[in-house]
Amino acid sequence: MGGSVLALVHGVRPEWRESVLGSLLPAFTDRGFEAVIRDVVDGSLPDASGFDLVCVTGSPDSAFDTTLPWIGPELEYLSATITQQVPVLGVCFGAQILARALGGSVAPSTRPEHGFTTVSTTRPDLVEAGPWMQFHRDTITVTDVAEVIAVNDAGVQAYVSGPHLGVQFHPEITSDCFSGWREGFTSARSGSDDGKVDTRALAAEIDAAAVDAAARCDRLVEGFLEHAGIGHPVG
């Protein structure tokens, strides 16, 4: 029997849901995992215990925004997932809301990041120095149930807690993924062309970095599976 990964997206139009997974999708499917994509904003989610792992992806919204009706239910869902000992990989917003589910906090960053950066890492076997794509305005604080394993001048960039891994950056970035961020999100905060980020230049950087970025994402997924003790499915 093959394995499966539940990929959670946040307010993404159906035609863009695979796109926003970027290179995470082939990293999982090439290893024999079936990817099941569900949008948190749509409501009820399947029991996480039926999956080998849960991958929580990005959002233009903030994990501390209690005006969003789906934030509370997602926190409860992730808390239950943690209790069920189902490994979670959190990416950007996903890392932020996972940190909250683990008792940490998220706040607006004094140093928003947009573009490729490197990080200092104590676990290069799991999280390399990069360069990694950044696109966020918030920052993570973890409690003592988590270990920070990567940082830069903007703050926490990666942490582990048991089998779980949260990364503030976007290992999944591809040109199609970047288009998905701009075209696929339904949030009022979606759309990156706000005049503060040169999205045309950034799109060119993403395109130029595509091969190396996909390879780094693939290694990150392999490292996460090893860290979480998840073998590759057979058949």
CATH number of the domain where residue 188 is located: 3.40.50.880
74 belongs to a structural domain: yes
235 belongs to a structural domain: no
136 catalytic per annotation: no
Number of domains in the chain: 1
172 catalytic per annotation: yes
Cβ 48 vs Cβ 81: under 8 Å: yes
The whole-chain average pLDDT of the chain stands at 95
**What is the distance of C-alpha 175 from the center of its chain?**
17
Q: Determine which one of 55, 172, 177, 217 is catalytic.
A: 172
124 belongs to a structural domain: yes
> Which residue do the tokens 């392999």 mark?
222
Q: Determine which one of 10, 136, 170, 227 is catalytic.
A: 170
Report the sign of the C-alpha dihedral through residues 153, 220, 84, 162, in that order.
negative
Q: Determine which one of 92, 113, 136, 227 is catalytic.
A: 92
Report the C-alpha dihedral over residues 206, 209, 212, 214, rounded to 10 degrees.
20
233 belongs to a structural domain: no
234 belongs to a structural domain: no
For the segment 95-146, what is each residue's pLDDT rounded down to a tens digit?
A: 999 999 999 999 999 999 999 999 999 999 999 999 999 999 999 999 999 9
Residue 39, phi then psi, degrees to nearest 5: -100, 120
214 belongs to a structural domain: yes
Residue 137's domain spans which residues? 3-228
Mean pLDDT of 78-92: 98
Report pLDDT for 172.
98
Q: How confident is the model at residue 188 (pLDDT cuts 50, 70, 90)?
A: confident
